[in-house]
Chain A
Amino acid sequence: MALLSMRRIRKSFGGTVANDDISIDVEAGEIRALLGENGAGKTTLMNILYGLYEADSGELFWKGRELGAHSPRESIAAGLGMVHQHFMLVPTLTVSQNVTLGLKSAGHPFPDRRKLDAKLAALSRLYGLDAPPAAKVASLSLGEQQRVEILKLLYRGAELLILDEPTAVLTPREAESFLAVLKRLKAEGHAVILITHRIAEVLQAADAITVLRGGRKVAELAAAEASPEELSRLMIGREVAKAGRARHGAASPSATTRTAASPAALRLDSVRLSERGREKLSGISLEVHGGEILGIAGIDGNGQRELAECVLGLRRSGSGSVRFGGSSVEGKGVAARARLGLAYVPDDRHRDGLVLDMDLAENFALKSLDRPGLRGRLFLNRSRLAAAAAEAIRDYGIKASGPSSGARLLSGGNQQKLILARELAGSPSIVVVSQPTRGLDVGAAEFVRERLIERRDAGAAILLISADLDEILALSDRIAVMHRGRLSESLANDEGLDLTRLGLLMAGEGAETPA
């Protein structure tokens, strides 16, 4: 009898199906990897198991007994534990205080801390989870904090541990010792579910692998029988990618016939950026020419936002150079770079793209205040602004009652159209777009993509950052992959594109030479 058995789990949010008829079994002493891209449904499935969401349908058996609607508290009591991607620790408390937080230890409310520390130390030794009980969590590295999270679960008697992208925050050495911990857990009879998109790790640590794609289970296989190429193919899904690419065709003639002598519209040379002691960008070099789209694929949080904001001028790179059309933009701010023809469509439209409490015309004007044509050095030409916004509403098919309707009241798709209208208004020569269709319905997404293609064909250099591989494949002329602050070489997106190789690069395997 399996320790855990999830049967035909189904869950949808609004119209999107996040989990479609997924079944999964986990035995005691087994390490089960749940492999898939962003948005494949891994985290949703685990949140259902842990009790954060309730499934629309399906059954859940724990040690042979049905577990109906349950809360995380009940999950913990039953012996299920989850380590979230973002740790849930109180930084000002010590390791031992964090571990025992919320428990009524012997002597409550004045527990014998020394006894607890000794118990904790014994547990640490047993599993090789080295963490000083008296140290403040704030003083620990991320790897140590993760060990505290795991200790916390073990201290509470967890038999099944769910680990969400556990190595995402670890250095390579920490990741290695983490894999050793996994082996110890297995030896002590614990079951582990590993949520991850890293193929190498899966092959090293897991016993069995379940691959999810687009909310469905596409494969279930033993780790011993799996190859990285096969897993990569299963994760990405070749047929989906092919279908996407067929829609927009190949690069425009101008891109393919450009001469090597003309300088790239956008060029980065070994750009480095460190923030709070962590290296976010480790020497990024790339070139985008007029009339082409360079797609940056990769899982979120590998430095894409930092890259975009270094080009934008919002962050200053530590070293390296950014050039527009051959001349350095070093020392130039956001406004100066925009005047040189740079447009930016940010990934977080609510925070970085729009002023939600302003109306549509004002949002449209955010970037065009200094443009010639809006006469008057001091005063706003309100009627001119309203006319410009009305034109954008018409041209981009923005559904709004008029230029004076609030940006907050627009739907996500219409908000994105508004940003696009504003950014593309000055016929920019360089366009940086980040996750341009995230959260949009199919129609709006298609509209946004068509505008980008249109801009490219008009000669703009477009840097497209997206975690949606289908989108990258459908739009890009060349593709590079970002992983842990590094950018891979770029691959031409043509018939000869090796999808398996692309998948491996996304998982952090492969040569890392400049694009």
Chain B
Amino acid sequence: MRALGLALSYAASGLVLLAAAAGAIAAAGCDPAAAAAGFARGAFGSVYGLSEVVVRATPLALAGLGVALGFRAGFFNIGSEGQIYLGAAGATATALLFPGLPPWALAPLCLLAGAAAGGAWAAVPGLLKARFGLSEAINTIMFNYIAINLVGILVRTLLKDPANPLPMSPRLPEASFLPVIVPGTRLHAGFLLALASAAFVAVLIGWTKAGFRMRAVGLAPRAAAACGISVAGNVLLASTLSGALAGLAGASEIAGVHHRLLEGISPGFGYLAIIVALLGRNRPAGVVASALGIAALQVGSTAMQRSAGVPTSIAWIIMGLLVALILARPTLFRSLIGAEGGKR
């Protein structure tokens, strides 16, 4: 009975979402049926379409894992976007500094540098929270602006390609590239890295003492402190790891897709990562699944624009509504599912 109600509440949410999407498409003066067909073909209709979904999902999954890890330890990292930018800058700088290294050394080194840069960037708001109790939600947002514009300066100065008038870095040495894993597509090894990271986070959170301490601090900081678990230390650790995963996302975008640093290297992956973590209920497998779902929505809506002339803004409208529905579902459909309390 309860399971049925739960399923019904999800189905009802889905229906509301579909109806809203169809309404918005019709309002834009397009044919919803043609749009739907274009969406499905674009995202799932070909190997290339599918590979594009996975390419998109890779940074979302990595950054989403970071956000989820932070959430579990009570660190609300809204700053993935900035950490992605710094991770990308770190990877680029490393590749340009050591162009002579062989591929087996340079590519991992770039990823490592990206993770380190993202982690260090997130550790600052982490330290401010741990030491002075300052709100990390606000500080990480502010750090986004700093990071994004820092990269803007870097691509015009230190990392600029002298041969190109545009603000971008030179093309990186091929030794820094992540290998393509499906020939004929852009699908690169970054996705395997995301899967490995998901496994790492799952083991860390669920099976290690360090993860146990972080969870305790996230759920009940005072009780953890009274049991001798360092709240400050674990907040700092969680913020650093969270930022490192976002930095890895930025490095993987550089080494796997763009092969040079540009302004606007992330079209809001860091913000989407928050939605991804939320949809995935902060669980690693859930985060990977929801990253794939969000990526499909984006890739599909791009195809929808090509085939039926529907503006891609629809995808953002649907995502906004999706989050609102997920948050409101337990109260909206209370009569169906009863109180859904306690368990997390």
Task: Identify the A interface with B (CB < 8 A).
Answer: 312, 314, 333-338, 344, 346, 351-358, 362, 365-367, 369, 376-380, 382, 406, 408-409
Residues of chain A with a CB closer than 8 A to B220's CB: 351, 354-357
**What chain B residues lie within 8 Å of A362 (beta carbons)?**
212, 216
Cβ-neighbour of A352 out of B209, B216, B226 (below 8 A) = B226
| Interchain CB contact under 8 A, A334 and B225 | yes
Is the CB–CB distance between A367 and B216 below 8 Å? no
The closest CB in chain A to the CB of B341 belongs to A408
Closest Cβ–Cβ distance, residue A374 to chain B (whole Å): 9
With A333-B228, A334-B228, A379-B208 known as contacts, the answer to whether A351 contacts B213 (CB < 8 A) is no
Answer whether residue B219 sits at the interface, using C-beta atoms and an 8 A cutoff. yes
Task: Establish whether residues A355 and B219, one from each chain, have CB atoms under 8 Å apart when the complex forms.
Answer: yes
Residue of B209, B210, B225, B228 with highest tally of chain A CB at under 10 A: B228
Q: Hey, which chain B residues are within 8 Å of A357, CB to CB?
A: 219-220, 344
CB proximity of B342 to chain A, nearest CB, Å: 6
Interface contact B342-A355, CB-CB below 8 Å: no
Decide if B223 touches A353 in the complex (CB within 8 Å).
yes
**Do residues A344 and B219 form an inter-chain contact, with CB atoms below 8 A?**
no
**Contacting residues, chain B, for A409 (C-beta < 8 A):** 342
B274-308 contacts to A, CB under 8 A, are none
Cross-interface CB contact of B209 among A334, A336, A378, cutoff 8 Å: A378
Are B216 and A346 interface neighbours, CB within 8 A? no
Q: Can you spell out 29 A-B residue pairs with CB atoms less than 8 angstroms apart?
A: A333-B230, A334-B226, A334-B227, A334-B228, A335-B230, A338-B227, A344-B226, A346-B226, A351-B223, A352-B223, A353-B226, A355-B216, A355-B219, A355-B224, A357-B219, A358-B215, A365-B212, A366-B216, A366-B224, A366-B227, A366-B229, A367-B228, A376-B209, A378-B210, A380-B207, A380-B209, A380-B212, A382-B207, A409-B342
In the bound complex, how far is the Cα of B229 from the Cα of A379, in angstroms?
A: 16
Chain A residues whose CB sits within 8 angstroms of the CB of B227 once the complex forms: 334, 338, 366-367
Q: Is B334 an interface residue (CB 8 A)?
A: no
Interface presence of B222 (CB below 8 A): yes
Chain A residues lying within 8 Å of B226, measured Cβ to Cβ, are: 312, 314, 334, 344, 346, 352-353
Assembled-state Cα–Cα distance A252/B230 (Å): 37
In the docked arrangement, what's the CA distance between A337 and B224, Å?
A: 15
Known: A366-B216, A380-B207, A408-B342. 5 other contacts (CB 8 A): A355-B216, A355-B223, A357-B344, A358-B219, A379-B207
A336 CA / B229 CA spacing, docked (Å): 10
Q: How far is the CA of A317 from the CA of B107 in the complex (A)?
A: 52
Q: Which residues of A contact B210 (CB under 8 A)?
A: 378
Q: How far is the CB of B247 from chain A (nearest CB, A)?
A: 23
In whole angstroms, what is the CA distance A408 to B341 when docked? 11
| Top 8 A-B residue pairs of the complex, sorted by shortest distance between their CB atoms | A335-B228, A334-B228, A355-B220, A366-B227, A367-B227, A355-B219, A352-B226, A357-B219
The CA of A378 and the CA of B212, in the complex, are separated in Å by 11
B266 → chain A, closest Cβ, in Å? Answer: 33
Determine the residue in chain A with the shortest Cβ distance to B228: A335
B residues in contact with A346, CB < 8 Å: 226
Contacts of B215 in A (CB 8 A): 358
- The answer to whether B209 touches A369 (Cβ under 8 A) is yes
Residues of chain B contacted by A382 (CB below 8 angstroms): 207
Cβ–Cβ contact A379 & B209, under 8 A? yes
Query: What residue in chain A is nearest B216 (Cβ atoms)?
Result: A355
Q: B228 contacts A358, CB within 8 Å?
A: no
User: Quick one: CB contact mask for B181-221 with A, threshold 8 Å, 1 for yes?
Assistant: 00000000000000000000000000111101101100110
State in angstroms the CA–CA spacing of A55 and B132 once bound together: 47
Contacts of A353 on B, CB cut-off 8 Å? 223, 226
Q: Taking CB as reference atom, which chain B residue is nearest A376? A: B209
B342 surroundings in chain A (CB, below 8 A): 406, 408-409
- Return A415 CB to nearest CB of chain B, in Å: 12
How far does the Cβ of A122 sit from chain B's closest Cβ, in whole Å?
A: 45
Chain B residues with Cβ under 8 A from A335's Cβ? 228-230
Residues of chain B contacted by A369 (CB below 8 angstroms): 209, 212-213
Distance between Cα atoms of A335 and B234 in the complex (Å): 14
Residues on the A chain within 8 Å of B230, using CB = 333, 335
Cα distance, A477 to B256, chains bound together (Å): 72
Q: Which of B56-111 contact A (CB under 8 A)?
A: none
CA A357 to CA B227, docked complex, whole Å:
16
The residue in A312, A357, A365, A367 that gathers the most chain B C-beta atoms within 10 A of its C-beta is A357
- Minimum C-beta distance from A414 to chain B (A): 16
Closest to A406 in B: B342
Question: What residues of A have a CB within 8 angstroms of the CB of B228 in the complex?
Answer: 333-338, 367
User: B residues within 8 A CB of A377?
Assistant: 209
- Closest Cβ of chain A to B115, distance in Å, is 20
A369 to B227, CA, bound (A): 10
Chain A residues within an 8 Å CB radius of B222 = 351-352
Residues of B within 8 A of A344 (CB): 226
Most chain B beta-carbon contacts within 10 A, residue among A352, A356, A366, A408: A366
**Whole-angstrom distance between the alpha carbons of A356 and B224 in the complex?**
11
Residues of B within 8 A of A312 (CB): 226
Residues of A with C-beta under 8 A to B224: 355, 366
C-alpha spacing A354/B223, complex, angstroms: 6
Least CB distance from A348 to B in Å reads 8
CB of A356 to closest CB in B, whole Å: 7
Q: For chain B residues 306-344, which have a beta carbon within 8 Å of chain A?
A: 342-344
Which residues of the other chain, A, contact B229 by a CB distance below 8 angstroms?
335, 366
CA distance A279 to B110 in the complex (A): 55
Chain A residues lying within 8 Å of B216, measured Cβ to Cβ, are: 355, 358, 362, 366
Residues on B with C-beta less than 8 A from A356 are: 219-220
How far is A408 from B223 in the complex, measured between Cα atoms in Å? 14
Q: Which residue of A has the minimal Cβ distance to B213? A: A369
Give the Cβ gap from B303 to chain A, nearest Cβ, in Å. 42
Complex alpha-carbon distance, A308 and B224, angstroms: 16
Q: Name the residue of chain B whose CB is nearest to the CB of A385.
A: B212
Closest to A337 in B: B228
Cα A354 to Cα B220 with chains together (Å): 8
**Neighbouring B residues of A367 by C-beta, 8 Å:** 227-228
Chain A residues with Cβ below 8 Å from B209 are 369, 376-380
With A333-B228, A334-B228 as contacts: A366 and B219 at CB distance below 8 Å: no
A351 CA to B227 CA in the complex, in Å?
12
Chain B residue nearest to A334 (CB atoms) is B228
Cα(A186)–Cα(B225), bound, Å: 50
Alpha-carbon distance A331/B226, docked complex (angstroms): 16
Chain B min CB distance to A187 (Å): 48
**Hey, which chain B residues are within 8 Å of A358, CB to CB?**
215-216, 219
Q: Which residues of A contact B219 (CB under 8 A)?
A: 355-358
Contact string against A for B residues 117-151, beta-carbon threshold 8 Å, 1 for contact and 0 otherwise = 00000000000000000000000000000000000
Complex Cα gap A365–B222 (Å): 16
